[in-house]
């Protein structure tokens, strides 16, 4: 669900693309760095802030032939990073094969995990699997207190997350420089995240003091007004105020470093998007090509497709799947 489905809330806000004065940033960069692959919307949780509206029982799961196309494209374009996400990506039946093959074609592989999936018996072995393959982990933990996390994600999710983080620490994550353990922070409501450096210090201090847990970084991600979060904003009567807040916080200095300029996002069915948020908003790349169309095709810059949810990525210090963009 894209924010433009609610035009009554946009009367005071200009079209996002009209705010871009530099034509250069409407195009992708000379080289693409990241291939982000959403291998399915199936998830063990139904988080309130989830922009892809993932959850249990969803059958939108990437097949192996699409994964094979992703690997070929990564080799063809020389992507530096394969970023694997979901849902809970671990629930895809070909997940471990895809991680192993991704490591062969790209040295830097990221998996975005909700942590508690590894509490379930079929996935208990994954912490060791991740360590063996030196996968960088980006772990969703919306806050460092049980009350806030469980309200946003479900009963006992915080407690399970702490147990898994401790196990990862035991294997060297957050301590061994080759085993990177990052936390992704999303605000619990209709407000912008705090300064990333400040919230990172808070997380590190609290997690170390109260649980003996070490992490590498905290990545702050502004909630995008799409999907399940947009529905929450509508129900709570906060959509208009939130959109105005994003617009009034628009920072032109973030435009050059928007994640859509250096990445390609692949959905479970092989459709291509400029970013994960456009994927959730069902806004394919302008040429509407699939990953199969891109194979054996020389890279050329593409015109990025924008929507008013893009104000979330350009508010304040900027936001991306890798945290603030430094604008």
Query: Taking Cα atoms as reference points, which of 113, 221, 217 lies closest to residue 167?
Result: 113
pLDDT band at residue 159 using 50, 70 and 90 as cut-offs: very high
Tell me which residue of 227, 45, 229, 232 sits closest to 139, measured CA to CA: 45
When pLDDT is cut at 50, 70 and 90, the band that residue 163 belongs to is very high
* Position 311 in a domain: no
Q: Is 305 helix (H, G, I), strand (E, B) or coil?
A: coil
**How many domains in the chain?**
1
Domain range for 123 is 31-224+261-293
The helix/strand/coil state of 95 is helix
Q: Stretch 277-306: mean pLDDT, rounded?
A: 93
In a domain, 8, yes or no: no
User: Which residue in the block uniquely carries the two structure tokens 């497709």?
Assistant: 305
Give φ, ψ of 55 to 5 degrees: 175, 180
Helix (H, G, I), strand (E, B) or coil at 302: coil
Say which CATH number the domain at 194 has. 3.20.20.70
Within-domain flag for 299: no
Beta bridge partners of 40: 61
| DSSP helix/strand/coil, 83 | strand
Nearest C-alpha neighbor of 306 from the set 184, 201, 224, 208: 224
327 in any annotated domain:
no
pLDDT in tens, 173-211: 999 999 999 999 988 788 899 999 999 999 999 999 999
Is the per-residue pLDDT at 234 higher than 80?
yes
Residue 73 lies in a domain: yes
The rounded distance, in Å, linking the Cα atoms of 183 and 317 is 18
pTM of the entire predicted model: 0.94
> Is residue 20 in a domain?
no
What is the pLDDT confidence band of residue 7, given thresholds at 50, 70 and 90? very low
Residue 201 lies in a domain: yes
**Residue 15 included in any domain:** no
């Amino acid at each position: 669900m894209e924010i433009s489905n609610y035009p009554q809330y946009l009367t005071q806000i200009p079209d996002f693309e009209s705010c871009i004065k530099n034509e250069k940033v409407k195009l992708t960069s000379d080289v693409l760095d990241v291939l982000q692959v959403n291998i399915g919307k199936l998830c063990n949780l139904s988080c309130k802030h989830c922009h892809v509206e993932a959850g249990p029982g969803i059958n939108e799961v990437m097949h192996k032939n699409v994964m094979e196309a992703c690997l070929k494209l990564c080799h063809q374009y020389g992507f530096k990073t394969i970023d694997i996400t979901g849902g809970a990506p671990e629930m895809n039946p070909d997940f471990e094969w895809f991680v192993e093959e991704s490591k062969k074609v790209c040295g830097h592989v990221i998996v975005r995990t909700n942590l508690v999936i590894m509490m379930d018996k079929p996935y208990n072995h994954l912490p060791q699997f991740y360590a063996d393959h030196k996968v960088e982990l980006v772990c969703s933990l919306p806050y460092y207190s049980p009350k806030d996390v469980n309200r946003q994600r479900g009963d006992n999710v915080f407690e399970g997350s702490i147990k898994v983080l401790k196990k990862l620490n035991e294997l060297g994550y957050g301590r061994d420089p080759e085993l990177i353990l990052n936390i992704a922070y999303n605000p619990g409501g209709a407000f912008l995240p705090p300064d990333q450096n400040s919230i990172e210090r808070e997380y590190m201090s609290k997690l170390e003091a109260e649980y003996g847990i070490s992490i590498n970084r905290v990545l702050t991600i502004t909630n995008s007004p799409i999907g399940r979060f947009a529905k929450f904003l509508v129900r709570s009567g906060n959509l208009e105020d939130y959109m105005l807040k994003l617009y009034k916080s628009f920072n032109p200095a973030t435009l050059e470093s928007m994640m859509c300029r250096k990445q390609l996002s692949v959905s479970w069915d092989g459709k291509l998007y400029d970013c994960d948020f456009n994927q959730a908003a069902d806004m394919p790349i302008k040429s509407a090509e699939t990953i199969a169309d891109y194979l054996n095709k020389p890279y050329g810059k593409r015109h990025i497709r924008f929507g008013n949810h893009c104000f979330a990525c350009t508010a304040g210090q900027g936001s991306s799947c890798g945290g603030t963009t430094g604008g």
